[in-house]
């Protein structure tokens, strides 16, 4: 297709979006109002701390599996991966593989023992056989930092989506949108707690899968269900030819980019099992068996969804082309909504409806994930830091829930502030950073706690703070923050000395190593009786809450 055709299509798209903007905004508002309605309804049933933190542990394995999928299939999955595939072909799809394989680590190592050993947060598991106050403080700090990294990605995705729908191009307008998402997220969590968040995630998972199925069907229909044709056209339109379908377009040109890919892969595969907002989902089911089953459900749902991202990403490359995608958003985050409008018919009411519905589903996705993340971090602050460290276990349930709600406001404000700077970055890449931080700080400590008798409080603190510091410092001095004029968080400055975009290759082994050395050098004698108790509890569920 010629460049003239594409510029004509772009003009049509712009005028159609303007013409149908009232319809688009109405549909969008209906989706947001519906999810807020669910939250208010669930909020009325949230009476105790167990309701607020764990949804009263009343959800079935299938319901929780659906909610876990809703939590996991974030803006990164839908917007970021589709955009990464549309721009980098095969290398973009590597995100899908990493995100999916990560579930096996969560299923085999973490889901069941965690459900058996804790009550509301990761800190419960660590504090069982360690000194309560220092370990809970470390777990709380780590949870909040990982959540804020993950929140950045969602905020960036929301900014792209809403500005695309409302036709906002100014930086001030985009920052205002990020602030609006932050305010909505604070409302979701403070009113609905875990019950509201879970119901929103379940509804959103169904809508997202339905939207992805519809778009996949329409993309394949455009190519007479010939996948080879689709891939061939995508390669041709990409400007890279056959190399678009081969490894190495993004990760492979240099030795550094190959190392970056290795780093990304390690972070993605090990990160899920350390993500606080995924870990707390295992507490919402009544038994460990249900926790394991819900992970099985999640693997099936998420696997099907990631297969469809192939059609969405390559479909966007074939039907829209990288130039048009980059023109809307340099990191490719707008590829899926652009594809939806194209499939509905550019310049038609159908196109406007498709754009509005898919964008609204993606926005509901962002709100649900953001609510889950904020809930994880505010729960950890209230339960671990406020109730057990500041109040030394003497806080009432009411005081704890009040602390959680205030924490939500402060974490929301931090996410808004940082999200404003991250608006031009690829959301899948941003999420990979959160995975790296989670795998560096939380995963080593969790695994050592559950499976190593010699592990001590000092080992836990070295592992959490060391892994956290290493990953955050390496990110700060990487091309993600400065040095790359197109995609860095801060343009026009360059203080990057760490060459990789993802710190996982260095920080994850360091987290494990520090936990091991810290325990061996510790003068504290591990409580073998407590370890034996934890082992029995984590494996059998006897005495689990």
pLDDT grade for 469, boundaries at 50, 70 and 90: very high
| pLDDT given at position 5 | 36
| pLDDT given at position 466 | 95
Distances (CA, A) of 389 to 50, 120, 135, 260, 414: 19, 16, 10, 39, 23
pLDDT at 75 over 80: no
Length of the chain: 545
Mean of the pLDDT values across residues 64-90?
82
pLDDT grade for 8, boundaries at 50, 70 and 90: very low
Which has the higher per-residue pLDDT, 357 or 509? 509
Give residue-wise pLDDT tens across range 480-523. 877 776 667 777 788 888 888 889 899 999 999 999 999 999 88
pLDDT grade for 15, boundaries at 50, 70 and 90: very low
- What's the DSSP call for residue 234? H
Mean of the pLDDT values across residues 469-479?
89
pLDDT grade for 286, boundaries at 50, 70 and 90: confident
pLDDT at 218 over 90: yes
| pLDDT given at position 292 | 78
| pLDDT given at position 107 | 73
| pLDDT given at position 9 | 38
Mean of the pLDDT values across residues 276-288?
74
Q: Which residue has the tokens 């917007």?
A: 79
pLDDT grade for 13, boundaries at 50, 70 and 90: very low
Q: Which of 252-266, 448-462, 476-490 has the highest mean pLDDT?
A: 448-462
Give residue-wise pLDDT tens across range 302-314. 889 988 988 999 9
- What's the DSSP call for residue 108? I
- Contact between residue 153 and residue 434 where contact means Cβ atoms under 8 Å apart: yes
pLDDT at 57 over 80: no
Which has the higher per-residue pLDDT, 160 or 293? 293
Ranking 62-76, 104-118, 487-501 by mean pLDDT, the lowest is 104-118
Q: Which of 109-118, 152-161, 306-315, 356-365 has the highest mean pLDDT?
A: 306-315
| pLDDT given at position 3 | 40
Distances (CA, A) of 441 to 100, 160, 429: 21, 30, 19
Mean of the pLDDT values across residues 343-353?
82
Residue 206: how many other CB atoms lie within 10 Å: 15
**Mean of the per-residue pLDDT values for the chain?**
80
| pLDDT given at position 280 | 74
CA distance 329 to 159: 11
Q: Report which of 478, 296, 336, 357 is spatially closest to residue 27, judged by C-alpha positions.
A: 357
pLDDT at 387 over 80: no
| pLDDT given at position 249 | 78
pLDDT at 2 over 50: no
- Contact between residue 422 and residue 490 where contact means Cβ atoms under 8 Å apart: no
Beta strands in 239-367 (DSSP E): none
pLDDT grade for 21, boundaries at 50, 70 and 90: confident
| pLDDT given at position 14 | 47
Beta strands in 222-275 (DSSP E): none
Give residue-wise pLDDT tens across range 402-437. 888 888 888 888 888 887 777 666 666 777 888 898
| pLDDT given at position 7 | 41
pLDDT grade for 383, boundaries at 50, 70 and 90: confident
| pLDDT given at position 542 | 64
- Contact between residue 390 and residue 47 where contact means Cβ atoms under 8 Å apart: no
Q: Which of 446-455, 474-483, 490-499 has the highest mean pLDDT?
A: 446-455
- Residue percentage of the chain with pLDDT more than 90: 12
Q: What is the pTM of this model?
A: 0.81
Q: Report which of 281, 286, 307, 304 is spatially closest to residue 373, judged by C-alpha positions.
A: 281
- Residue percentage of the chain with pLDDT more than 70: 89
| pLDDT given at position 40 | 79
CA distance 206 to 202: 6
Give residue-wise pLDDT tens across range 186-205. 777 777 666 777 787 888 88
- What's the DSSP call for residue 245? G
Q: What are 201's two structure tokens?
A: 């995630």
Phi-psi map region of 121: left, alpha, beta (phi>0 left; psi -120 to 50 alpha)? beta
- Contact between residue 326 and residue 340 where contact means Cβ atoms under 8 Å apart: no
| pLDDT given at position 45 | 66
- Contact between residue 115 and residue 291 where contact means Cβ atoms under 8 Å apart: yes
pLDDT grade for 444, boundaries at 50, 70 and 90: very high
pLDDT grade for 221, boundaries at 50, 70 and 90: very high
| pLDDT given at position 1 | 42
CA distance 49 to 42: 14
């Amino acid at each position: 297709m010629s460049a003239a055709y594409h510029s004509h299509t772009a003009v049509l798209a712009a005028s159609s979006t303007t013409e149908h903007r009232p319809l688009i905004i109405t549909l969008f508002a209906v989706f947001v109002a519906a999810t807020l309605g669910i939250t208010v309804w669930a909020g009325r049933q949230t009476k105790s701390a167990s309701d607020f933190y764990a949804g009263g542990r009343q959800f079935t394995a299938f319901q929780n599996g659906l909610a876990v999928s809703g939590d996991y299939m974030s803006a990164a999955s839908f917007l970021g991966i589709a955009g990464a595939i549309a721009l980098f072909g095969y290398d973009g799809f590597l995100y899908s593989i990493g995100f999916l394989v990560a579930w096996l680590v969560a299923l085999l190592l973490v889901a069941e023992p965690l459900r058996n050993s804790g009550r509301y947060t990761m800190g419960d598991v660590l504090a069982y056989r360690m000194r309560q106050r220092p370990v809970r403080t470390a777990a709380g700090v780590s949870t909040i930092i990982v959540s804020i990294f993950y929140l950045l990605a969602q905020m960036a995705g929301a900014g792209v989506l809403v500005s695309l729908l409302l036709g906002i191009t100014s930086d001030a307008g985009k920052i205002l949108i990020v602030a609006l998402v932050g305010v909505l997220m604070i409302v979701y969590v403070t009113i609905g707690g875990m019950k509201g968040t879970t119901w929103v995630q379940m509804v959103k998972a169904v809508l997202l899968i339905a939207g992805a199925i519809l778009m996949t069907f329409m993309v394949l229909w455009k190519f007479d269900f010939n996948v080879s044709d689709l891939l061939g056209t995508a390669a041709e339109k990409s400007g890279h030819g056959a190399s678009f379908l081969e490894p190495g377009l993004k990760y492979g040109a240099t030795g550094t980019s190959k190392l970056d890919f290795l780093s990304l892969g390690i972070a993605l595969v090990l990160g899920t099992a350390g993500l606080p907002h995924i870990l707390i989902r295992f507490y919402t089911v009544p038994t460990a068996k249900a926790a394991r089953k819900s992970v099985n459900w999640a693997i099936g749902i998420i696997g099907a969804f990631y297969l469809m991202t192939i059609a969405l990403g390559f479909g966007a490359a074939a039907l829209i082309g990288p130039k048009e995608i980059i023109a809307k958003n340099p990191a490719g985050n707008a590829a899926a909504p652009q594809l939806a409008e194209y499939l509905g018919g550019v310049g038609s009411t159908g196109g406007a409806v498709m754009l509005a519905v898919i964008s609204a589903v993606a926005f509901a996705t962002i709100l649900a994930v953001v609510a889950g993340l904020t809930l994880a971090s505010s729960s950890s602050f209230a339960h671990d830091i406020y109730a057990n460290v500041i109040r030394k276990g003497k806080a009432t349930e009411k005081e704890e829930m009040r602390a959680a709600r205030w924490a939500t406001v402060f974490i929301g404000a931090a996410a808004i502030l940082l999200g404003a700077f991250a608006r031009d970055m690829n959301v899948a890449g941003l999420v990979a950073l959160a995975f790296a931080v989670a795998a560096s700080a939380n995963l080593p400590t969790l695994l050592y706690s559950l499976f190593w008798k010699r592990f001590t409080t000092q080992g836990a603190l070295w592992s959490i703070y060391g892994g956290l510091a290493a990953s955050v410092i390496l990110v700060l001095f990487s091309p993600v923050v400065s040095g790359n004029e197109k995609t860095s968080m801060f343009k026009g400055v360059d203080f990057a000395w760490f060459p990789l975009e993802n710190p996982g290759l260095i920080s994850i082994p360091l987290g494990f190593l520090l936990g091991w050395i810290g325990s061996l050098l510790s003068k504290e004698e591990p409580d073998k009786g407590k370890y034996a108790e934890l082992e029995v509890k984590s494996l059998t569920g006897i005495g689990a809450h």
